[in-house]
Amino acid sequence: MYYFLTFGVVKKTTLKGYNFINSFKGLGLFLLQLGYVYFIVESGLPQGAKFPIVFAGLGGIVFLAFKLKCWKEMAVFGMFYTIIGGFLMPVPRLPIVYETIRNQYFHVTMWMAMIIVLFASALHAIKYLNKGHLRDDVLSSEFANLGIIFGVLGIITGMIWANYTWGDPWHGDPKQVSAAIGLLVYFALMVLRASFTDDVKRARIGAIYNLFAFPLLIVLLFTVPRMYDSLHPGAGGNPAFGKYDLDNSMRMVFYAAIIAWTLLGVWIATLRIRVRLLELKAYDVL
Amino acid sequence: MTFYKKILTVMFSVLFFVANAQEREVEMADAMRSNGSIYVVVAVLSVVLAGILVYVISTDKKISRIEKDLENK
């Protein structure tokens, strides 16, 4: 499902003037997203199976959006839906969190978007090491930049949320600390890349470091926090996003929000990518 | 009072406090919704999002134009 991000993205991204038909396609696919989520959520499947099935289906829809070149419009609709629906649609009434549970549509979804984007970055790093096209290195580094931005936003929103629900913005919660470490690892990637002047060396070393950094991030974010007692859901041995963590009414906005954040971020990243590719082409390096 | 009666008295009087721990009405932002200010939040965020999108779309068009020029050169 993640591969869609890597193959279609930069080839088919040019926006040749505002196109109404594309908006309808985008709107149609966005409504398809919502319909699919609603269908799976209201079906009688066991709760634990819903998350992977929904994600696989939404991945297919996003793939279709890339094929039909309406993913940007879909991102626009998705983002407006996240904001409007995120605040106005009903949420479960729980003590301690009250209305801040709506932050799930922003904080958690941005983390998931970050993981998708960093996966794409690692994938392009592999492609670069395989073939040696500098284009893959440009994609890999820009997606890593985007991943860092999402990660920083995620940590800040997490700290704000923690301040209101747990009392302190930071108190050494395992997931918080692991997330910070993971982010520092990616900051180090940027510093490493900046220390080289030669394009090829920078690309090669950066790609290798990226391939170390990504599995480390996965371990830090998913494995380590479960081993300790933590205030985050999914700690102390319980699976996160399992049966008990997500209410049906929230799933309607949650999955669409992940896709919307990812696509918006990828859109902005592709702008930077295209500028860098133009620079490389202008200097005849590419 | 015998000893067990004392214990029972204490236990039953504790019940009063224990019963309080049950479902109190969870205070949500219904007040905010009823006096219309949640819509202000949504409106502000939508405007911010629209601004960001306008910037992104215009940059996208600029880059498309440059790409096309570089191709046709």
> Cβ contacts (< 8 Å) between A265 and chain B: which residues?
none
How far is A262 from A209, CA to CA, in rounded Å? 23
Give the pLDDT confidence score for residue B34 in this predicted structure.
62
**Whether B29 contacts chain A with CB within 8 A:** yes
Binning pLDDT at 50, 70 and 90, where does residue A247 land?
low
Rounded to an integer, the average pLDDT of A36-59 is: 78
C-alpha dihedral over A155, A161, A165, A169, to 10 degrees? 50
CA dist., res. A260 & res. A256, Å (int):
6
Query: Per the CB < 8 Å rule, is A88 touching B38?
Result: yes
Distances (CA, A) of A251 to A90, A114, A241, A255, B38: 11, 19, 11, 6, 21
Residues A264 and A86: their CA atoms lie apart, in Å, by 17
pTM over 0.90: no
CB atoms inside a 10 Å sphere around CB A198: 9
Distance between the two ends of chain B, CA-based, in angstroms?
A: 105
Q: What is the pLDDT of residues A134-185, one digit of tens each?
A: 999 999 999 999 999 999 999 999 998 888 887 888 877 888 899 999 999 9
The pLDDT of residue A37 is 82
A contact test, residue of B20, B24, B28, B68 with most A CBs within 10 A: B28
Chain A touched by B65 (CB under 8 Å):
no
**Coil, strand or helix at B25:** coil
- A281 confidence band (pLDDT: 50, 70, 90): confident
| pLDDT reported for residue A29 | 84
Residue A256 to residue A30: CA distance in whole angstroms: 8
- Nearest-angstrom CA–CA distance, B19 and B45: 42
Query: Can you tell me the ipTM of this complex?
Result: 0.78
Q: Is the pLDDT of residue B23 over 60?
A: no
User: A102 is written with which tokens?
Assistant: 């709506």
Going from the C-alpha of B43 to that of each of A44, A55, A102, the distances in angstroms are: 36, 30, 16
A132: left (phi over 0), alpha (psi -120 to 50) or beta: left
Q: Label residue A14 by pLDDT band (50, 70, 90).
A: very low
Closest CA to A77 of A26, A11, A35: A26
Contact across the interface for A15 and B46, Cβ inside 8 Å: no
- Probe site for chain B from A274, A283, A285 (most B CB atoms < 10 A): A274
For residue B52, what are its two tokens?
A: 């960001």
Structure tokens at A168: 């302190």
Three-class SS of residue A122? helix
Locus of tokens 């991000």? A5
Which are the contacts of A212, defined by CB distance < 8 A and separation ≥ 6? Answer: none
Indicate if the pLDDT at residue A23 is higher than 50: yes
